[in-house]
Structure 1
């Protein structure tokens, strides 16, 4: 296979305890019908045989490069990948997912004409025997208009924002995967993933990055395959998640202020913040693995609801952005119904855990 000196695309794959899924993930990249790529496997602190698997894959194909780092976290791994990449574009792939074999070929053909700063494509979510297909827009867009770019930015916060006729049914708009980023722009603007948080680091990255991309394209075709397992991030117990959510909230609020974004962005961001509050309650305080006494949880809920940031985001809630169940919960939180909220969320989390078995 003839490989030019400078790859068009550098795939960055963070690897942490992924020995079971890594082979299928990397093989989906090796089998790309467009060959001018490199694959950077960044192993960070795996305790299984992941590093050995990485080295085996590197022996199979000279385009596979392996680096082992001591710093934990997907942000650190992605940042190291950005530093090591030599391709004109960078694409991030999670080690338990896979990519259809012709995505690079399609991108290369379109990019030869449009010279993209960013190119996005659609994804499928796989959970057991169920597959959900999700799109950012209702059709292919060779170059996004300014209004479409703003719609993309707002959908990072609120994919079902009522101000748009076409809504997405998942939050993958803010994910790092499903995109080709021009490396030059990332380097020039020092765009990196925040290592201060282990939650929503990709949402923050895209929020701070999108203003720097002018030539953006999108295809409705689904090439990315997201494997949603029972132990995926959104199902885990995440203690002390409030500090991570608060870090992201503060950074996005700072960005809103510095860029002077209009009310559409503010409302959508507040929708995201309310969902972060839900995350603190469901994935931490009232998660089935939180062994605190119930009365202790109620006391901590009181503290959270009386904090200034919490009061503000609940008061700014726009009902059109939420489901009826979410509005019901927001009203309970606004009215400081501590015991009712605690009982409701305890039952809800137990039911969710039962359904996900």
Structure 2
């Protein structure tokens, strides 16, 4: 087979139970010029054997046994060994429509994209939520629309912005076709220093290098949200990982001389990171520390220079009414009340 148009990279970690549905949606693509890279990164179940069984049945499948854990290392390894003109990422517990590569190939033959984005359907139990970027398809984004896309990556649901749809998929590495030449030429890789928000960091920085960007509102990606997903997990010491991402983004903002609109959106993201530290770490129901110790931890984190500055300079119009109340309490250093609110929030799964 000649070089594939699309290399589909699937990071695999203890995903034996979901791989059949995921890989099945890839092998049945109506467009044939693809390769499927299953990157096993330290699985302790029989995922590697499952991957090898798939590869034995389909010559387009390659199995990479990568011993270093982490989705970022797996995706980076996939980029390095890929041979397609474009790279696409699919998580091992998700799946895609069988015609998405054909839809992309037909449009790409006309527009020669640097990046092509499509929409997703988030599924949890019996509920489904569409996540899209624009109300209509866009063959080629204008400079203004590209800036809007970067803003959506930073603050996908900010009330102040002129779109009122769920755009949380904007920052995901999935749902996109990346031109591999641009990834390689500019050494665009996922940060291995964090296990949190690595997708958002990657896309925020990488978008500066993509000019010809297309988008379809049609959703081809199906994201299965589980109760034990990252957003609901207990993630101790998450301030270290969030802090790394904030530091990298602040360096990028300064180096690229981004406008105030970018700074406001980034600060909005950083405040939500702060909320995440409280919900997923300090006050998470699986955290066994006493209430007093947690309150002291909250006080310590809010005193960090980076968070103190952001809390006192953030554009509050980017936040909902309830979030503004929390921000006000943070500014006023109402540690006991804040601790009680976060504790109740995490206990009641609001």
Structure 1 length-normalised TM: 0.96
User: Is the counterpart of residue 148 in structure 1 residue 122 in structure 2?
Assistant: no
Cα drift, residue 70 of structure 1: 1.1
1:187 to 184, 187, 190: 184
**Structure 2 equivalent of residue 110 of structure 1:** 107
Answer whether contact 2:31 2:99 (CA < 8 A) is retained: yes
Cα drift, residue 38 of structure 1: 0.3
User: Is the counterpart of residue 68 in structure 1 residue 65 in structure 2?
Assistant: yes
User: Is the counterpart of residue 96 in structure 1 residue 90 in structure 2?
Assistant: no
Q: Distance in 1 between matches of 2:339 and 2:50?
A: 45
Cα distance per residue 1:17-73 (max 9 Å; x no partner)? 101111100100001110110000000111111111101111121101101111110
Answer whether contact 1:159 1:167 (CA < 8 A) is retained: no
**Structure 2 equivalent of residue 16 of structure 1:** 13
User: Is the counterpart of residue 218 in structure 1 residue 212 in structure 2?
Assistant: no
1:321 to 295, 318, 323: 318
**Structure 2 equivalent of residue 305 of structure 1:** 302
**Count of aligned residue pairs for this structure pair:** 350
Q: Distance in 2 between matches of 1:202 and 1:334?
A: 30
Moved more, 307-316 or 39-48: 307-316
Q: Distance in 2 between matches of 1:244 and 1:57?
A: 35
Matched position secondary structure for 1:124? strand
Answer whether contact 2:89 2:173 (CA < 8 A) is retained: yes
Matched position secondary structure for 1:199? coil
Q: Distance in 1 between matches of 2:162 and 2:299?
A: 38
Q: Distance in 1 between matches of 2:159 and 2:339?
A: 30
Structure 2 length-normalised TM: 0.98
User: Is the counterpart of residue 25 in structure 1 residue 39 in structure 2?
Assistant: no
Q: Which runs of 5+ in 2 are unaligned?
A: none
**Structure 1 equivalent of residue 240 of structure 2:** 243
Answer whether contact 1:270 1:317 (CA < 8 A) is retained: yes
User: Is the counterpart of residue 282 in structure 1 residue 279 in structure 2?
Assistant: yes
**Structure 1 equivalent of residue 56 of structure 2:** 59
Matched position secondary structure for 2:247? helix
Cα drift, residue 168 of structure 1: 3.4
Matched position secondary structure for 2:122? strand
Moved more, 303-312 or 100-109: 303-312
Matched position secondary structure for 2:153? helix
Cα distance per residue 1:86-144 (max 9 Å; x no partner)? 00000000000000011001000000000000000000000001111111111000000
Q: Distance in 1 between matches of 2:154 and 2:165?
A: 11
Cα drift, residue 170 of structure 1: 4.1
Answer whether contact 1:44 1:73 (CA < 8 A) is retained: yes
Q: Distance in 1 between matches of 2:148 and 2:206?
A: 15
Answer whether contact 1:208 1:255 (CA < 8 A) is retained: yes
Answer whether contact 2:157 2:168 (CA < 8 A) is retained: no
